[in-house]
């Protein structure tokens, strides 16, 4: 089933139409405690008309677990959900990932609609049909491919975000430009994400989503070119998982550090997009070393990331742990660590490998810079 992405100018009108065009006997709304407070009021009157039942879970990726999944299944059962019911996932990537997996598995599959409320979810998590939960200390270890009937994207929700979470989502947009074309990349590395023009950002979001939609349409189950969307994620996921294992979280040192303590992120937590941004630095370095990626573009991208995302604190003593986490990546075959690399912007090389020494050099580059 193909999903339909709506770039919305009127969230109530577009959501009402999507619900009307989707089979449902009952409507359920999945939120987390943040989006219930900050985002649900924007559409609450429409859900009231449908007598919708709200299910609220705790925010933060550390709650994207089997236990939370079971809690939502239980809430659907108690609410009288059937295989003809509709689940609307209103929230960031954690909500759309987990909610999509709930919908894919409850009664062997029910319809769902995603309404992403963070920039990260708009350009990445809510689009493309990947759903899942974290398991055994690994990101998205258990999940399924399942398309939402509709994904409704409206930047009206972005006024609820702090700068750190805007930057987190923007890292996925930067990735899309790197695997797409130089004009988009140049626009992205010259955009002021710290003081964004939201109207301009909505146009850029639509273009970024189009990059992902085009790739997913060609390869819905990631047998080929969809692996391009993993650029920056082999190292990025390892850094993110490493940060989740640290007693105090991952320290991000930069002028953005106070923003990393905002209400939408626990103190010193490494947000997903920050991990991806640092992963982009490392995988661009490997691309330059092994695939001929232009060093000038490597340094320009690295400079943009350092100025807006700072740096993550880890040492060479952590390299064995990071390499082990990379070996558990779902993209791997046996113990071979698989990368997507770039010969140039938009010139993609999937199914590439790197030696442990080359990966250590990339981690050095992430830590030390130019």
Average per-residue pLDDT for the chain: 91
List pLDDT tens digits, range 200-250.
998 999 999 999 999 999 998 888 999 999 999 999 999 999 998 887 655
What average pLDDT does this structure show over 143-166?
A: 92
Give the range among 36-45, 69-78, 135-144, 165-174 with minimum mean pLDDT.
135-144
3-state class (DSSP) for residue 306: helix
Percentage of residues of the chain with pLDDT beyond 70 = 92
Closest CA to 306 of 339, 284, 323: 284
Instruction: Give the pair of three-digit tokens for residue 246.
Output: 């640290």
Task: Note whether 93 and 121 are within 8 A (CB).
Answer: yes
Q: Shortest CA distance to 129 belongs to which of 272, 2, 273? A: 2
Pair type for strands 86-91 and 111-116: parallel
pTM of the model: 0.88
The owner of tokens 């493309």 is: 128
Distance CA 251, CA 205 (A): 29
| DSSP-assigned letter for residue 336 | B
Residue 365 — very low, low, confident or very high, per pLDDT cuts 50/70/90?
A: very high
Q: Is 271 helix (H, G, I), strand (E, B) or coil?
A: coil
> Is the per-residue pLDDT at 254 higher than 80?
no
| Distance, CA of 131 to CA of 61 (rounded, Å) | 13
Specify the pLDDT at position 335: 72
Instruction: Kindly report, residue by residue over 91-115, the tens digit of the pLDDT.
Output: 999 999 999 999 999 999 999 999 9
Percentage with pLDDT > 90 across the chain: 79
Mean pLDDT value across residues 32-56: 96
Residue 264 pLDDT: 37
Statement: residue 253 has pLDDT above 70: no
Please state the rounded mean pLDDT for residues 299-317.
94
Residue 266 has pLDDT above 70, yes or no: no
Dist. CA 368–CA 275, nearest whole Å:
16
Phi-psi map region of 273: left, alpha, beta (phi>0 left; psi -120 to 50 alpha): alpha
pLDDT band at 199 (very low <50, low <70, confident <90, very high): confident
Is the pLDDT score of 267 beyond 60? no
Decide which of 96 and 257 is more confident. Answer: 96
User: Looking at residue 84, what is its pLDDT?
Assistant: 98
CA 170 to each of CA 109, 194, 208, 253, 288: distance values in angstroms, whole numbers, following the listed order: 32, 11, 10, 19, 23
**Does residue 137 carry a pLDDT above 90?**
no
User: What's the pLDDT at 292?
Assistant: 98
Q: Tell me the angle at which helices 272-291 and 356-368 cross, rounded to the nearest 10 degrees.
A: 120
pLDDT digits (tens, 9 = 90+) for 81-92: 999 999 999 999
């Amino acid at each position: 089933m193909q999903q339909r992405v709506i770039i919305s100018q009127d969230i109530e009108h577009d959501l009402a139409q999507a619900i009307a065009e989707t089979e449902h006997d009952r409507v359920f709304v999945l939120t987390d405690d943040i989006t219930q407070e900050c985002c649900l009021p924007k559409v609450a009157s429409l859900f009231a008309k449908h007598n919708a039942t709200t299910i609220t879970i705790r925010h933060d990726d550390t709650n994207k677990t089997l236990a939370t999944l079971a809690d939502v299944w239980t809430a659907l059962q108690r609410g009288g959900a059937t295989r003809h019911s509709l689940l609307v996932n209103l929230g960031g990537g954690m909500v759309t990932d987990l909610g999509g997996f709930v919908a894919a598995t409850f009664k062997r599959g029910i319809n769902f609609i995603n309404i992403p409320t963070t920039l990260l979810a708009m350009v990445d998590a809510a689009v493309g049909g990947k759903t899942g939960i974290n398991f055994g200390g690994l990101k998205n270890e258990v999940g399924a491919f399942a398309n939402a009937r509709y994904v409704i994207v409206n930047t009206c929700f972005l006024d609820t975000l702090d700068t750190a979470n805007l930057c987190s989502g923007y890292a996925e947009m930067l990735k899309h430009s790197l695997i797409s074309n130089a004009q988009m990349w140049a626009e992205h590395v010259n955009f002021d994400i710290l003081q964004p023009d939201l109207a301009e950002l909505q146009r850029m979001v639509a273009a970024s989503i189009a990059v992902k939609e085009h790739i997913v349409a060609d390869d819905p189950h990631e047998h080929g070119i969809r692996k391009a969307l993993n650029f920056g994620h082999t190292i990025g996921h390892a850094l993110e998982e490493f940060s989740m294992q640290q007693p105090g979280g991952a320290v991000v040192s930069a002028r953005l550090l106070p923003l990393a303590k905002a209400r939408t992120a626990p103190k010193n937590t490494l947000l997903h997009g920050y991990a991806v941004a640092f992963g982009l630095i490392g995988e661009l370095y490997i691309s330059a070393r092994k695939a001929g990626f232009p060093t000038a573009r490597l340094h320009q991208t690295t400079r943009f990331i350092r100025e807006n995302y700072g740096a993550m604190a880890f040492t060479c003593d952590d390299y064995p742990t990071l390499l082990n986490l990379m070996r558990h990546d779902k993209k791997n075959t046996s113990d071979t660590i698989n990368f997507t690399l770039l010969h140039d912007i938009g010139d993609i090389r999937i199914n590439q490998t790197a030696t442990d020494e080359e990966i250590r050099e990339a981690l050095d580059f992430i830590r030390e810079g130019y």
